Homo-oligomer: A and B are copies of this chain.
């Protein structure tokens, strides 16, 4: 069923299991105690950053499947994507498994796009268990989007730090204590921001657009949620989002948390906080879902945000089109 741009899941598919792998910098922060695997060396025993990124993603998927007491043959399809050109982390991770694979690209909003589609396939009766997964790696993202690390370039103060980490969850038809009740589809918004170091400012209008449509379609307001969590707007982007929402008479300030803002313990080089597809993937699939399972959050709205630029589009003078897909979670008694 749908209303406006929101899909309502009548069978309320469940988050059956979740897993996260995070890097050495990330383990020092809030998710350090929640992630399943925390690396001491971000190369993860591989010869290249890209292979390390793929290994993190593959391991997060394996762990999520295992924690759900499932095997590969129980998984109907995996939704995954990442930031690398031609989503090679996801495609090569999918090579490690025997189940079908549907590749996504939605930049840093891949986690919520995957969850949304997985829930739709489960609710529509097309799948019993789907995997939704994504990840990113600071070093592979830097050299693809910006400069090789070896150059030692100075980062501007409005920039964010791509998270080294991967998260995966299994969305199932009926097992688990976290239900997915509905999801709001994102639209591409572009307010003309051209500064590729200021993703937060570029993505905030997309997040606001999705949240406003979500509240409208679901007849809710910010006070109905225990927490409203965005993907990786960072400190500056979050401030812009709160202002944009406030202008529409929706005050989210008491409920809003941004994964990028909370992921690092001490903000030094990270300036505005974390970013990258792995940012919300790790925070959701460790910290948030653990807190939900423990009953600390009952109703959560998750809106991951993605900046759909490339080095080519920016080089050709284009501004940054952005998107945000939102997914709503609610805890249910575990015997339901």
Which positions in A face B, CB cutoff 8 Å? 1-2, 5, 7, 47-48, 50-51, 76-77, 81, 83-88, 91-92, 94-95, 97-107, 113, 116-117, 120-121, 123-127, 144, 185-188, 190, 308-313, 316, 318, 321, 323, 325
Contact = CB atoms under 8 A, between A and B. Distances in A.
Contacts of A94: 187-188, 321, 323
A131 to B, nearest CB: 13
A28 to B, nearest CB: 29
Given A7-B126, A101-B323, A95 B316 contact: no
A315 to B, nearest CB: 9
B104 A312 contact: no
30 contacts: A48-B316, A50-B312, A76-B185, A77-B185, A81-B103, A85-B86, A85-B310, A86-B107, A86-B308, A86-B310, A86-B313, A88-B308, A88-B309, A88-B310, A94-B187, A94-B188, A94-B321, A101-B186, A102-B104, A102-B106, A102-B113, A102-B117, A102-B185, A103-B105, A103-B106, A103-B113, A105-B105, A117-B117, A124-B126, A144-B312
Given A84-B312, A92-B321, A101 B188 contact: yes
Contact of A123 (B1, B113, B124): B124
A125 B113 CA distance: 18
A237 B262 CA distance: 50
Nearest to A318: B92
Nearest to A313: B88
Among A77, A101, A117, A144, chain B packs the most CB atoms within 10 A around the CB of A101
B86 A105 contact: yes
A148 to B, nearest CB: 13
A117 B185 CA distance: 14
Contacts of A121: 120, 124
A102 B48 CA distance: 30
Contact of A321 (B84, B91, B104): B91
B311 A85 contact: yes
Contacts of A318: 92
